Structure 1
Amino acid sequence: MTASSPAPGGYPGTTPGGSPAPHPTTHPTPHPAPRDRVALRWEIVVVLVVTFGTSGVRAVLRLIDALARPEPLSGQTVTLNAAQSAVRWLDPAFQLVSSAVLVAWAGLAVLLLLRHCPPATLRPSGPVRSPGSSPDPRPAPGDSGDDAPLRLRPSRRDILPGVGLAALIGLPGLALYLGAVALGLSRHVAAGGTGDWWSVPTLVVGAWANGVGEEVVVVAWLATRLRQLRVPWAWIFVGSAVLRGSYHLYQGYSAGVGNIVMGLVFVWWFRRTGRVWPLIVAHGLIDTVAFVGAVALPGLG
């Protein structure tokens, strides 16, 4: 029986009795065979075009449009969660759909990752290989061989480091924003909301959807895939951080710079721990404070 033929009495990947076969133990960043690397390159291109890559291009165009206007950046206002319908009771539905899209992007990335990183065997033990192929034994450039195993499952231990990262990024980020507005390098940022009772809940949902979508795709998925392609960590730091900064540029230069710094810190954390949920917690808290705070203190923007 070949490696790709069904087991007797079941589908491929099942035991003779029809029950699922155990997954092989995997490393979070295996170096796949050449034919698999081609597929991974196309996966990266397609996922980024569908998700935050296109968002980055659109944000750059919006910044160019803002710079082409007669008024300076500091005289303009951008609304992060602008109303999407003139019918007030329909707006939260549109907002929730937008949040669902972000979560779906993360779900897509997780499903793709699970092809090589089964959730029951996340700790490193051996390389993944496709049927009939052999892994690339060469270490990635700059690879010390001690990449942390990828952990996608949440834990209570993720909360405290998430709060710490939120404070580390959020407080200097607020100071950077206020300074940039004063220097004319950023647009005023408004959180949006209609003022109805559902505004704050939908803003909170949107804040956490941002955290899930961005940290899973821009950090966990992208870093893992690039490591599988033998990309050095230095370039992963640059690529992930610049991608994060690019899709915030519509707010102004400071948003791009601030999010690049945030991206560098978050990739550093992910490289050391392999844990994505502290990043989600941090991002969710930062955006929740920003969105709800802007509604409660509109003069801050």
Structure 2
Amino acid sequence: MAGNSPGERPSRRTLRDETLLVLAVSLGASGVSALISFVGSVTKPGGLKDQAATLNASAAPGRPWLDLAWQLFGITTALVPVALVAHFLLREGAGLRALGFDRRRPWSDLGRGAAVAAVIGSSGIAFYLAMRGLGFNLTVVPEGLPDVWWKFPVLVLSALQNSILEEVIVVGYLLRRLDQLGWSPGTSLVATSVLRGSYHLYQGVGGFVGNLVMGVVFVWLYRRWGRVGPLVAAHTLLDIGAFVGYALLAGKVGWLPTA
């Protein structure tokens, strides 16, 4: 069977199968993993807030150079699905530029992203503390890396990786594909927002609800701006604030829960 010519739109079936495969090797699989983790947490004796979900954990305790190698390996390989998406989009003659992930408007993207991060960050912390206090969330430990020279650079790279992966795939790519498959904007908004919430379920109900709401806001902004660049910037700043902020403040301020 002949394939599609360069720049030719793939068939509806190809688009559907491609989308499912991209999700299966990225955030869709993460959603299933988070659901299994959540079931394990709620069926474990004791409350959710007495359990911890650790992000950016050490991969080789006591062996900093090996740990660094594993950290960089994990960050790099996590971005392979984004490269796959870029390949599929280039097949259509588009590329990531079609999603607004490029260097055409760096300062505009950063400015908008910083504004979004400022609004979401403050409300997000309050929501997390409230949900944990009510027993609906695990104690989230944003980083558990050793105190070595590469700790903060790796945390920043991890934040950037998370942001690129999530916003390019869950917002830009998935919305583009669902539009091409004939989904209504409302249904696409619900689907992508639930997906975003699902792979944060390992944090508890609060993690799911908070990220679902964030998904709704990000989809609305993407539809308005037509670019994922500001969303990547916002998400990166939020994660840097969470990862680096925790590293600097844990054990030094009374309001920040620790494991």
Q: Considering the TM-score relative to the shorter chain, is it more than 0.5?
A: yes
The answer for the alignment partner of 1:273 in structure 2 is 225
Amino acid at match of 1:54: A
Structure 1 gap segments, 5+ residues each: 5-11, 14-22, 25-31, 123-148
Partner residue in 1 for 2:36 = 61
Percent of counterpart pairs with the same letter?
41
Mapped to 2, the partners of 1:81 and 1:212 lie a distance apart of 17
Pick one of 60, 67, 71 that aligns with 1:85. 60
Asked whether the equivalents of residues 99 and 173 of structure 2 are also in contact (C-alpha less than 8 Å), the reply is no
Cα distance per residue 1:9-40 (max 9 Å; x no partner): xxx87xxxxxxxxx79xxxxxxx5xx700000
Structure 2 counterpart SS, 1:71: coil
Tell me the CA shift for residue 88 of structure 1: 2.5
- Pick aligned residue for 2:82 from 91, 106, 117: 106
Cα shift readout 1:139-162 (whole Å, capped 9, x = no counterpart): xxxxxxxxxx64232322111101
Note if contact 1:106-1:214 (Cα within 8 Å) is conserved in structure 2. Answer: no
2: distance between equivalents of 1:222 and 1:293? Answer: 31
- CA deviation map 1:170-203 (0-9, x unaligned): 1111111011111111111112111112111111
**Aligned AA (1:159):** L
Q: Is the 8 A contact 1:193 1:200 kept in 2?
A: no
Matches within 5 A, 1:178-193: 178-190=129-141, 191-193=143-145
The equivalent position to 2:197 in structure 1, one of 230, 242, 245, is 245
- Contact 2:81/2:165 (<8 A) preserved: yes
Instruction: Kindly name which structure, 1 or 2, has the bigger radius of gyration based on alpha carbons.
Output: 1
Partner of 1:151: 100
- Using the TM superposition, give the Cα deviation of residue 81 of structure 1 relative to its aligned residue in structure 2, in angstroms: 1.0
TM-score w.r.t. length of structure 1 = 0.77
Q: Deviations over 1:70-89 (max 9, x none)?
A: 12101111111111123232
Which range moved further: 149-158 or 267-276?
149-158
Q: Give matches, 1:131-142, under 5 Å.
A: none
- The residue identity in structure 2 corresponding to 1:57 is V
Uncovered stretches (5+) of structure 2, i.e. residues with no partner: none
Structure 1 position 114, deviation (Å)? 2.3
Aligned structure 1 segments of 4 or more residues deviating by more than 4 angstroms: none
- How many residue pairs are counted as aligned between the two chains? 247
Q: Secondary structure at the match of 2:53?
A: strand
Alignment counterpart, residue 234 of structure 1, candidates 183, 186, 197: 186
- Aligned residue number for residue 116 of structure 2: 165
Q: Secondary structure at the match of 1:189?
A: strand
Measured against aligned partners, the alpha-carbon deviations of 1:28-72 in whole angstroms (never above 9, x if no partner) come to: xxxx5xx70000000011111110001000001001101111121
Normalising by the residue count of structure 2, what TM-score does the alignment of the two structures yield? 0.89
Between Structure 1 and Structure 2, the one with more helix by share is 2
Q: 1:95 aligns with which of 71, 96, 120?
A: 71
Shift in Å at residue 298 of structure 1? 1.0
Q: Give secondary structure in 2 for the equivalent of 1:61.
A: helix
Residue of structure 2 equivalent to 1:204: 156
